Amino acid sequence: VFNPLEAYEIDFSGSSVSLRLKEASLNLDHRRVIVPTETTFAVKVQHSVVNMMFEGTTLCELSWDFQGSSPILQTTKPGQTPALSNHEDRRQVPLLIKDLCQGRLNLEVSSVGGISFTQASTIREDKVGLYDWKFFNAIVSPDDDSPARIMDVLHDKKTMHQLLAVTKLINSDIERALRYILTKVWRAKEIIDQEGISDPGQAIPGYKLARLVSLFLSEDTSQVNEVLPIIRRVVAGNGLDVIKAKDLLRKHVEAYDEWAAEIDRGVKWVAVVVGPMSIQQPIEETEGPPLSECIDPDRYDGIPTAKELYQMLQDKPQLPLDQSFSNLVSRIAPYMTLRQVRYVLHLRPSSHWQPFDLKRLRYVYSIKKKVHEISESYGGLSFMPQSFFVSIFLGEATRSSLRAATANQDAEYGDAELEAVKVDKRTALSILRRRKLGESIRGGDDDTENFIMSPAGRIASRGDLRGLHTPTDGPVSSPYTSSRVEDILGDSLLGPEDIAVLLQAGLTSAMKGSTVVQLNQRMLLDLMASQPKSFAIAVLAELGQNTPRHLASCLMALCDLDQGSFKEAHRVNMHNLLESWLPGLKIPRREDYLAGGRWARQSFYDAIFSVAVSIHDLSEPYTGLKLRIQTVRHHKESDPLPLPLEFSKEFNHQPTSKLTSAIESAVSKMSVADDLGQRAFNDLVQRRKPARECTEAIAAYKEAFDACSQVLSIDKLAFQADWFKAFWKRNYDALMVKSIYDNVMDDVDNVRVWMEALRRGSMGIELTDADNLSQSPSSGTMLADCDSATASMVSPVGSPPKQASVSIIAEPFFTCPEKQAEQDLIDGIVDSIFYDESERDYIKSDPLVRLLISNEPGHYNFTIITAMGVITEGKKGLELQKAIERLEEERGVKTIRADTGTARSIDYNATKIEEAVEVATKLKRPFGLVGYSQGCANEINFESRMLAGTPDQQKVITSPASGLVCRQLLFSAANGSMHGPAAEAKVHQLITMTEDFFKYQQGYFSRAFISSTLEVLNDILDSAAFQKFMGGAKSFLPDALRSFWREAQFLPHVPTTVLRGVLENHTTPESLEMVCNLLSKQSGSTLHDSQVHVYDAVGHPVYVKNRNARILKGTDMGGAIQRTHHWSPLSEEVEFVRTTRDVQQATFDCAKDRHIFPFCDVNARFGIIRYVASGEQKSEKQSIEAATPRK
């Protein structure tokens, strides 16, 4: 797509600038910084070619040299200056340690203003140490290694003593507090080193943690007996014993009496974090239809739906577009997604558009492209220059939008009214430039009036906002004409989502006090004020990412918006401006809720949060408009459900049809196979012969598989029929047992050890707390045939086992499978793996399980797309890695990991899954989705977004040759988790408790200090990291999930298999004990895997019912509940929290193959996944190598 802002390029490569200071000092009241003589600074641009949109990167070299000396900080008594005071009255200290007095590093600036450092050097070029380039990156652009580097710096006492010396000259009280904190940090490090703690797993056991706490408090182990009960209470999910904790601190903290109130509040904060939270249980709804069917469609009269838009664009592709339709598309373009605008521009040639509309579309596309890049890269020191990059295109975009608004108002208003809304031709930036060039600061009266008469200033300056009427707001009852479309959409070239992203970038900027950032924010506010009121509400909704918690943080930041670059008369009253957009709502003022205010007893955060909830409710019409423009609804709620053909009325009237014959044949062959299987089952049990000898029964079942595949080839929805679904589930459970059996026999990974531990636990051999690991097996011969890992596992933990258990320990079963009968092994697997007794009995009696039927050998024509949990390394992750490698070797299945992010929103992760699918489609093979935990919600959201997306997106997912064919949900969190609302409630309570704490401190600290502290807290709540985290956390919240399931759409011909688990004592990792117990306390149920409940971890929505929910429920093929934990797919990722007890229980040595092998095999068994023809395997390998991105 041609971008007019990319037409010109500027080349800065080779430019350089240097500065040599003969003598320099910086003075601030009674403080002075003296820069060493002959200090030099230099910047050399190595490469920088950018266009007018600042596309491109810049790499420059920075160097400094203080000539072997450090800058000196001098202070004297307040009221004096260091230069004029006596030597005895001056104190001074070097600011830098010697390692930082000279150096050179490379600075890279990205196209969105992100900065990072590489190849830094200090003292000499080849030196690599604590203060190399990683140190600067840890401060400015943190990565995964940054926390470790910061901790190394904190433990460098030479550096910290230097920092303390500098801090003491600035503020002795801060220095005292900092010294105390650092002393405790160093003490903790010494204890950890002395105790040999290298991983958290070594400190997780209660007895070990109690020992560490005792050493920290009293420098010996005398307090272990006092600390251990407190820890055990927390781990049990009963919360912190506040009284005992405070008694312990009172006894061992010298400053306790001096800081009693603060310590008391700190203990209560900890109690909230680690304690259970009373929350409302999720409620099952009756119906949750899509929002488009809940809002009067006349509200959006004249605005086409996405489906209508695509149909009209695809209609008569050889003819130019109608002039009115061309104009309409350009009008709604700001409300489209970037993908939509790109599709629209590529679908029709330039000659089919009206020239002005084409120009507008291209401009909107260029803006959205840049905003999309900024949406993932903003905030903090990492993006300090970003505001300058944003101002490049923001000024023109807002100016063009304001001109369009003014032009429309020219036609609607008379001269008198026009004067009140006209925008001055001079921008705020030009006026400030004139001021800096020496022109009159006050300017003429016209200047002041014109500046105040900017849209935001004009609205906010009105005293009475009740009757305020934005010019572009048409009356609600007005007829729907072409002008009504403008009344709804406005004239902005930036859509609500675009403005929200740019506002958020400004609110989180590290340079909020700079003129450029403040001008950017003012231009955005002016643009919002020039549009209909509904536009401002839409921006606020997008700013909050459709969650009140997020929006509350943004509202606090907006109310405290820094406007220091503007004269007092030109500053916008943000409370008035917000209230003008939100009729009936009163924006709380922070000063009213501080000590001495009229609402001091109430919480400011509660008040602002209630406003955020109201805005969220007011934004429903915008949400409906957004969904109307961006998403395709393929069906209405009243449309009949897609069902198997055998359920249709016509089916009964066609007794000789091909489908009828196929179903009768499949049912008959299933019955014959079951009869033969039952006879074979009796032979297997009584005569103890191997399953492979039951050839007749195995052949009969394979004929039944083929017959079912034939039914599916005729009717791709046939698997939803009860008879087919029951047979499918039997096969899935049988293949699950077969997979584990093969792992045991082939001695894969540590599956034998894991199964032995499961067997011991399922038979009731209790393991006490790992307080005493000194016991060893009494028998010297029972482990003669087993390896050291097995010996460690079967060793009793704690006291010796009961008499009834001795025989189980003395006679290992799964660790020596060659000595066991085949059917005994199957019985042991079923008893050890499956949780529900009724399911165990049913599975054990099923001949399909007993016969251990394998699929035919060969490669599958299939690709897996994985999306892992809420904490993941994306495409660099190692979840199920060995199982994935074995699957590729055995079945030729290629796996592509989606580069999903840790604690990111399901929309962000869905785009990453789409990127993975784009790679998969190059293989020209069908693909399946494997989701784990939150990854299930990510993949379901991906499917829904693709179905509701542009026609090319729909084609990708529905293609018979390379589309989606099946789903696997591992411990699905798509229905949320009780941890979500509990954490939400804790966050709210902690914020209000912190607010109360600062009200209490107002009597001890200055107002300036309190304001600065509150500003820091606001920055934290509004930071990019926190907002992205909240975006990821909302996928666990009932309200967000209700909105998601309400609009979701799914393919009815794609079967879904699930793997669910329930924790028991012998399957609980020690690191998950507290989480597990908290979930049980908060939900009142123990049927969970530590994260999600078994009744929620299904393959369909539980708490929302609508047409698409019923479709997904029809595709849910189920799966028996297993005895396992939520971290079952993980291995190397959790190694750092593996404890001694975990090793002895083999908690993390789960059979990994069972997560994906049965899923692939059951779909291949019924023809959902096809085999690769033998002659095609060589060309298939070549295409895979060509399509796979190189590392």
Residue 674 tokens read as 């079951």
Residue 835 near residue 1123 (C-beta atoms within 8 A)? yes
Q: How far apart are CA 815 and CA 752, in angstroms?
A: 5
Q: Which residue carries 């205010």 as its tokens?
A: 597
CA distance 866 to 886: 16
- Pair 1026, 380: CB distance under 8 Å: no
How confident is the model over 71-106, as pLDDT tens digits? 999 898 888 888 888 877 888 899 988 888 888 888
Of 824, 989, 1101, nearest to 274 by C-alpha is 989
The Cβ-side half-sphere exposure at 511, using a 13 Å CA radius, reads 17
DSSP summary character for residue 1165: H
Spatial distance between the Cα atoms of 1061 and 1126, rounded to a whole number of angstroms: 7
CA dihedral 678, 679, 685, 689 (to 10 degrees): -120
User: In this structure, what DSSP letter does residue 1098 have?
Assistant: S
Distance from C-alpha of 645 to C-alpha of 404, rounded to nearest angstrom: 56
Amino acid at position 332, single letter: I
Instruction: Calculate the CA 230 to chain-centre distance.
Output: 33
Which residue type does 109 have?
A: V
The sign of the CA dihedral 399, 400, 404, 405 is negative
Task: List, in order, residues 6 or more apart from 495 with CB less than 8 Å away.
Answer: 334, 335, 336, 368
What backbone phi and psi angles, to 5 degrees, belong to 735?
-70, -30
How far apart, in whole angstroms, are the C-alpha atoms of residue 624 and residue 601?
39
In angstroms, rounded to a whole number, what is the distance separating the alpha carbons of residues 706 and 1165?
8
**Both tokens of residue 630?**
């961006």
Q: Residue 469 and residue 580: Cα distance in Å, rounded?
A: 9
* pLDDT score recorded for residue 686: 76
At 799, give phi and psi (nearest 5°). -75, 160
Task: Supply 846's token pair.
Answer: 């099923």
- Per the CB < 8 A criterion, the answer to whether 827 and 681 are in contact is no
Mark the ranges of the chain whose per-residue pLDDT is less than 50.
1-2, 122-127, 409-429, 431-433, 435-453, 463-481, 767-808, 1191
- Predicted TM-score of the model (pTM): 0.87
Q: Quick one: DSSP state of residue 509?
A: B
Whole-angstrom Cα distance, residue 110 to residue 740?
49
- Are 488 and 532 contacting, i.e. CB atoms less than 8 angstroms apart? yes
Please provide the DSSP assignment of 879-921 as one string.
Answer: TTHHHHHHHHHHH--EEEE----TT--HHHHHHHHHHHHHHHH
Ramachandran area for residue 146 (φ above 0: left; ψ -120 to 50: alpha; else beta): alpha
SS3 sequence of 93-154: EECCCHHHCEEEEEEEECCCCCEEEEEEEECECCCCCCCCHHHHHHHHCCCCCHHHHHHHHH
On whether the CB atoms of residues 908 and 1031 are closer than 8 A, the answer is yes
**Two tokens at 702?**
């394979």
- pLDDT of amino acid 746: 93
Asked whether 1118 and 832 are in contact (CB, 8 A), the reply is: no
Residues 1094 and 1124: beta-carbon distance below 8 Å: no
